[in-house]
Every structure is written in structure tokens, then in C-alpha cells.
Structure 1
Amino acid sequence: MPSRGLGGRARRRRACRRRRDAAVARDWAGGLGTDALLAIFRRLDHVDVLLAADNVCRSWRRAAREEPTLWRRITMRGHEGIARRLNRGGMACEAVRRAAGQCEAFCGEYAGDDGFLMYLIEQAPCLKSLRLISCNYVSNEGFTEPVKKLPLLEDLEVSLCDNVGGYYACGSDRRSDVFEVVGEVCPKLKHFRRSNKLFDVRVWWNKDDDVQGIATMHGLRSLQLFGHALTNEGLETILDGCPHLECLDIRHCFNIDMDEALHLKCAGIKTLRLPDDPTDDYDLEVHSPIRMVVEEEIVWDSGYYSDDSGDDDWDFYGEPSRYESDLDKYEKMLPLNMRTFLK
């Protein structure tokens, strides 16, 4: 009987050891080296790293917070369903802070305002790539002043930013083209992209807006203008000012009529995308262009009017969000220490 009891205790000890060994074997996350963790994190959007990855365990947290190389090229895209509930500007500042002065590229969608741009320039003096998408809280003045401190900039995108572009007040009466400033202070600029939400033939004022500024970017190798209202004359001005262009994308720029003169000017361009070319590889949402003026039905309601076009997305910013149930679930799942990023 005594030996049988001893054997039972031994079996229990062996079972405990097996369970501990199994638990250690399952803890693959904590056992990964820093290089492996960084390789995983680089496949994620940096929003996911901020909100989730660095809360898995101590080693993941250390890799996410103490490795500036992870934040050298910051990408904060998507997350449309939760964008309105997140302090995207605060998250962008935190991402730049973690780069510890090594940030060379920043790409932000719904992330950034005038104050953030000033912070970015102060923390990332060696920035070479800046992409702003749907950053409607960035103004002409707020964009122009920081960009003057980016002499190393090689890649610039300002897409779907309604308040950046055209002319801004400078001094008492003087008016200057925003992108002309870019051409003057960023001599290394090689790639420029500006996408509008959609082409609208009803835009009759200053169709060649931004053209003079883009024409001063003499070192451009690639240019994309999507849904822009520029005309043949405006395009000729750009081609004359940017003789080194190798790639030109003017899809959905339906005021352009590619006549013989324009074809001759574009003869040296290796990759040419014309207004009617397919948009399968376009990475932003493509809206149906308005290419002809038609009589629209205007619905009046309490002093406001709307186009009764049946657009399912018309209430995205007005009516209660269709994502509310997902947002509530997301907020409950969000770690307490990261809820500071919620508005």
C-alpha cells in the first residue's frame, strides 16, 4: 500500500511536469526572437501594432516600444469602421515618437492635422516620404510651413485632402500656389501623387488648379493626378516643366483630349495611363465620374437639400453609424492602457 501511494504521487508529479512542458511549448509567442517579432510586426499596419501587438506579452511589448527600426516607415491606413472613434492624431504622434528620430516615411489615412505635421517635422528631420490621405484637418498654411523643412523629401502624396491645394493667403495681398512652394523647397522630389474623390465636369472654376505648382517640380520621375479637372493646356504646362517624367497617370482626368500634340509630348514617357484606362490597380475608392450635366432631383428638407441619387454611403458622417455595434465590441476588447486613443 505505501509503495502504491508513492507511485501515485510520482505519476501526479510527472503529469504536472508534462503540463508545464506543454505550456512552455505552446508559448511560442514569447519565445520568438526580436528579429522574428519585427518581421511579423512589419507585415501589420502600425495601428494594429499600437492597439494589439504590443499587448500580447512582455517580449512583444518590448519589441513594439523599444525598437525604433520598426517605426522607420510608418503606415496607418484603413480601419474605416473605427476611424471616428480613434484619436488618429494621437496615435500618429505616438508612432512617430517611437521612431526616436529615425522615421523616414509616413503614410496616414484620417491621421493628421496641422499640429501633427509640425510634430512630425520636429521628430523626423530626415523624412523622405510623406503620404497624406483623407486628412481634412490639414490646411494650406499648416501644410506649407512644415514642408519647408523637408529638403530631403523624395515622395509626396496629398490625396482626398480637401483643404490642401490651390492658393493660400500669404502676407497681406499676395497669393501663392501651395505646390509651388513644394517645388522650390524640395529639390529631390521624384514622385508626386494627388487624387481627387471624383471627376466632376460641373467644376468650371480654375480647372488647371495646382498646375503651375506641379510644373515647378522639375525633378519628378512619376506623377499621378486622378480625377483632376486639368485641361490640355495645363497638362502641357506640366510636361514642359517636368522633362524627366517616366511615369504619368491621368486616369479619370476627362477634360484631357489626347490629341496629336499631346501624344508627341508624351512620346518619351515609359508608362502612360490615360483618362479612360482601367482602374483595377487603383488603391483608393473609385467613385463614378460626373462626365455630363444632367437635371438632378433636389429634395428639400428643413432648409437642406440633397441629391436623391440612392447613394448608400450618404449618411456615413450624418446618421448613426452602421458600425456602432462593431465599435462597442471593439471598445470592450481594447486594453485599458490603450483606451487613451479613443475620442
Structure 2
Amino acid sequence: MDGSEIRCWDELIPDALGLIFSNLSLKDKLTVIPRICKSWRKAVMGPYCWQEIDIEEWSCRRQPEELDRMLQMLITRSSGSPRKLCVCDIPNDAIFSFIADHAGSLQTLQLPRSKISDSIVEQVAGKMSAITVLDLTYCGKIGARALEAFGKNCKLLVGLRRNMHPSDVGLYKFCQDDEAHAIAATMPKLKHLEIAYMLITTEGILDILSGCRELESLDVRGCWNVKLDEKFLDEKCSGLKVLGPSIMDSLDDSSDYSDSSGYSAWMFSTDQLYDGESSDGVWDDEQRLEELELRFYEGFDEEDDYGEEFE
């Protein structure tokens, strides 16, 4: 009215809107944006919103069927080509197999606290060859076989997190040097490695240093059997930043894994709800939107720590 330019946000092409909406929270993208207008609904249904899928906080304490449905929905929306996936507490091999089958372009995969097995990793790792950053923190059901499978198939791998929780150290009575050997033998391009609180010996670490010549940072906090000579590191591993194995001044045993590393900067960068329908008309039925909202909030209550972020 005053002669200033009028910006018609609803007329932006879906690709541009998708890139903008990708910066919003999971809650907003699923339950708010689709209700604004048809063009925004179409954009949020397209792949540009879902090149990076981060449901790590949401997935905590989810039931397997809830997690399965959400992953199927979001990976389908991404047209099967997400670059990054962050999800925790994967409860079984079937869900991991779905990820491998439908998200083969993943470059960053974070699976903390997941219960996947060595056997499923060996079966599907060949479908995940684009991975460069891998987070297997607190994944207690896998071992050297899974690491070897990832290493042999993910030739571009530069970052690996394999930290265990300090309170779980006593649960693992066996030496984990076989995992160190698997890393050394199959991951020569690693630049950043976190293996805090694993039962690894000095020999295991020397094996890694010999096989992973491009390492820039190494986290061995809580690896009490590791004794690294400072002179040796200066001579043989010039430029390598080593954290540990001494413990931090204070430690909260109940702390989440996200605070377990001093080198987190390198982590950069179900029944299907829609049955494969096109983006047009996906939300035409208001009841379906209400069902999704209920599913999204399901499980959150006043005593649920993970519900606070949406209050």
C-alpha cells in the first residue's frame, strides 16, 4: 500500500520453501507448516525438507512401532536420498535394515544407544557405502564384526564415535582389542576417532595408530589400560590431539552421551502413514493431521524429560 514490495511467500517454488523449512523443528514441520496453505504443505512433503533427518531427541523412549512409522514416513519424503540421519534407541535389526535399504545415500549416520546386531550390519553395510561419519555410541550389541563390515564397505569413513558409557565399563569383562584391530585394518582414512571407556589396551591403540595414519584427534578417556608415551606421540604422531585416558575432573554418571566427547565438532556436517500417496491431498483429510499430532506427542507427559522441549 505504501509502495513497498509485497513478498508472497506462498508463491515461492517448493524447492526454495523446502530449504527454508529444513531449518525448522521436527514438530513445526510435521504439525504446523502443513496447515498454513497448500503450497507450504506441498513443500514440506517434498525431499528438500528432509535431506537431513534429525529425530534423535524425539526417538528417545519411543515404542518400536512409533519409531518405525516415523522413519518410514520421513525417509519416504526424502525420496530415499537423505544425506544425514540422526536417530537413537533403534530397538531391532528390522528398522536398521529398512534404513539401509531406503537411504543408501547417507553420508552421516548417528545411531546412539541402538540395539543393532553384528549380523545385520554384515548383511546390509554394503548398501551404505557413502557414509563418512558414523556414530555407534553405546551400541552394546555390536562388536568387531560390525566395525569390520562398516570399514570394508564405507571407504570414505573419516569420523567414528564408538564411546561406551562410564557406568557400563564393569559390564564388559572381555578385552575389546579385536575392535581396535578392526578399526586399524579397515578404516585407514579416519581423521577423528572416539573410543572412550572401552576395554582397550595400549597394544590396541598402537594398532590403530599404525593403521590409521591420517588421525587428527583420538579420544581414549576412560581406557584405563592404555599408557601412551608422550615422547612417542610427539615423534610418531605429530599433530595428533589425544584426549585421555585420564577422566575429567567431575563426572555425572547420569549424563547423556552428548557430553562424552571433547571433539564433537566433527559431527557436522512402521505402517506407513501415507501409503505412497502423492503430496497433493496428503493432508486433505483433517483427521489424518490430528492423528499425526497425537502420534507425535504420544508418550510425552509432565514427568517425561524429553517432553519439556515442546512446552
TM-score by length of structure 2 reads 0.69
Q: Secondary structure at the match of 1:130?
A: strand
Change (3 A) 1:258 1:270: closer
In structure 2, the partner of 1:88 is 67
Match of 2:207 in 1: 237
C-alpha distance 202-128 of structure 1, shift in aligned 2 (>3 A): closer
TM-aligned CA deviation for residue 43 of structure 1: 2.8
How many angstroms does 1:40 deviate by?
5.0
Which whole-Å CA distance do the structure 1 matches of 2:98 and 2:64 have between them? 22
Structure number having the greater strand percentage: 1
Q: Distance in 2 between matches of 1:55 and 1:120?
A: 29
Q: Equivalents in 2 of 1:249, 1:230: separation in Å? A: 12
Q: Supply the distance in 1 between the matched residues of 2:24 and 2:197 (Cα, whole angstroms).
A: 30
- Report if the CA contact (8 A) 2:121-2:150 is conserved: no
Does 2:129 correspond to 1:160?
no
2:22 is aligned with 1:42: yes
1:248 aligns with 2:221: no
Aligned length: 258
Which residue in 2 is equivalent to 1:61?
A: 41
2:177 equivalent to 1:198? no
Which letter does structure 2 place at the counterpart of 1:79? W
State the distance in 1 between where 2:49 and 2:55 align: 13
What is the rounded CA distance, in whole Å, between the counterparts of 1:106 and 1:69 in structure 2?
14
State the Cα deviation string for residues 56-114 of structure 1 (Å, max 9, x = none): 5534322211x212111211111377634971121012111101132122111224642
Percent identity over the alignment is 24
Mapped contact 1:88–1:110 kept (Cα < 8 A): no
Superposition CA RMSD, Å: 3.4
Q: Does 2:155 align with 1:187?
A: yes
Q: 1:112 to 1:146 in 2, by over 3 A?
A: farther
The structural deviation recorded for 1:121 is 2.5
Which amino acid in 1 is paired with 2:189?
A: G
| 2:180 equivalent to 1:225 | no
Aligned runs of 1:1-343 on 2, under 5 Å? Answer: 31=10, 33=12, 37-38=17-18, 41-46=21-26, 49-65=29-45, 67-79=46-58, 83-84=62-63, 87-111=66-90, 113-136=92-115, 138-166=116-144, 177-198=145-166, 200=169, 203-216=172-185, 217-260=187-230, 263-264=233-234, 267-276=237-246, 278=248, 284=257, 335-339=290-294
Q: Distance in 1 between matches of 2:92 and 2:159?
A: 22
Would the aligned equivalents of 1:69 and 1:102 in 2 still touch at CA under 8 Å? no
The verdict on how the C-alpha distance between 1:238 and 1:90 changes in structure 2, with shifts beyond 3 A counting, is same
SS in 2 for 1:156: strand
| The structure with more radius of gyration | 1
Distance 1:335 1:255, change over 3 A: farther
**Which of 1 and 2 has higher RCO (CA within 8 Å, sep 6+)?**
2
Q: Which residue of 2 aligns with 1:327?
A: none
Structure 1 alignment gaps of length 5 or more: 1-20, 22-27, 167-176, 288-333
Contact 2:105–2:130 (CA<8 Å) still a contact in 1? yes
1:222 partner letter: H
Would the aligned equivalents of 2:19 and 2:48 in 1 still touch at CA under 8 Å? no
Q: Quick one: distance in 1 between partners of 2:138 and 2:35?
A: 33
Q: Which amino acid in structure 2 is aligned with residue 104 of structure 1?
A: R
Q: Quick one: distance in 2 between partners of 1:113 and 1:184? A: 23
Once the two structures are TM-superposed, the CA of residue 132 in structure 1 deviates from its matched residue by 0.7
- 2:53 partner SS: strand
> Structure 1 counterpart of 2:219, which letter?
D
Is the contact made by 2:217 and 2:240 (CA closer than 8 Å) also made in structure 1?
Answer: yes
Q: Residue 159 of structure 1: CA displacement?
A: 1.2
- Aligned partners of 1:150 and 1:186 also within 8 Å: yes
- Whether the 8 Å contact between 1:76 and 1:111 is mirrored in structure 2 is no
In 2 relative to 1, CA 81–96 (structure 1 residues): closer, same or farther, beyond 3 Å? closer
**Aligned residue in 2 for 1:24:** none
Query: Conserved in 1, the CA contact under 8 Å of 2:136 and 2:162?
Result: yes
- The answer to whether the 8 A contact 2:174-2:199 is kept is no
Give 1:48 shift: 5.3
Q: How far did 1:267 drift?
A: 3.0
CA distance in 2, matches of 1:254, 1:146: 34
Alpha carbons of 1:31 and 1:153: their partners in 2 closer, same or farther (altered >3 Å)? Answer: closer
